[in-house]
Structure 1
Amino acid sequence: MKIMIIGSSGSGKSTFARELGKITSYPILHLDKVFHKYPSEIAREKLREATRIFIFQNENVIIDGNYGSTLDERLPFADEVIWLKTPRLKTTFRVIKRSIKSRVFGKNRPDIAEEFKEKWDKEYLEFLKFVWTFPEKEFPQIEQKIKEFNVESKVIILKNRKDKEKYLANYGRKAKN
Structure 2
Amino acid sequence: MLVIGPCGAGKSTLAVELGERLHLPVFHMDQLNWQPGWNESSKDEIIAKLHDIVATERWLIDGTYGGTLATRLDRADSVVYLDFAISLCVRRLLGRIWTYRGRSRPDMTQDCPERFDLGFLIYLIRWNSGPRPRMEQCLIGHEHKVIRLQNPDALQRWMDSVPAVA
TM-score between both structures, scaled by the size of structure 1? 0.86
Equivalent position SS for 2:27 = strand
Call closer, same or farther: CA 1:43–1:119 in 2, change over 3 Å.
Answer: farther
- 1:62 partner amino acid: L
Cα pair 1:36 1:115 within 8 Å, conserved = no
Cα pair 1:27 1:61 within 8 Å, conserved = yes
Whose helix fraction is larger, Structure 1's or Structure 2's?
1
- 1:60 partner amino acid: R
- Correspondence for 2:118 among 125, 128, 134: 125
Equivalent position SS for 2:57 = coil
> Could you tell me how far apart the structure 2 residues matched to 1:119 and 1:108 are?
9
Q: Deviations over 1:99-142 (max 9, x none)?
A: 11122xx422210111213444xxx1010000111122112111
Equivalent position SS for 2:162 = helix
> Could you tell me how far apart the structure 2 residues matched to 1:171 and 1:142 are?
25
Count the aligned residue pairs: 164
Identity %: 29
Q: CA deviation at 1:43?
A: 3.5
How large is the RMSD of aligned CA atoms in angstroms? 1.6
> Could you tell me how far apart the structure 1 residues matched to 2:121 and 2:13 are?
20
> Could you tell me how far apart the structure 2 residues matched to 1:48 and 1:92 are?
29
Runs of 4+ residues deviating >2 angstroms = 42-46, 117-120
Q: Within 5 A, what are the aligned runs for 1:41-52? A: 42-52=41-51
- Correspondence for 1:35 among 26, 33, 36: 33
Q: Deviations over 1:35-54 (max 9, x none)?
A: 111633x3432221211111
**Gapped runs of 5+ residues in structure 2?**
none
Cα pair 1:36 1:43 within 8 Å, conserved = no
Tell me if 1:114 matches 2:110: yes
> Could you tell me how far apart the structure 2 residues matched to 1:43 and 1:99 are?
25
Call closer, same or farther: CA 1:171–1:119 in 2, change over 3 Å.
Answer: closer
- 1:75 partner amino acid: L
**Gapped runs of 5+ residues in structure 1?**
none
- 2:94 partner amino acid: I
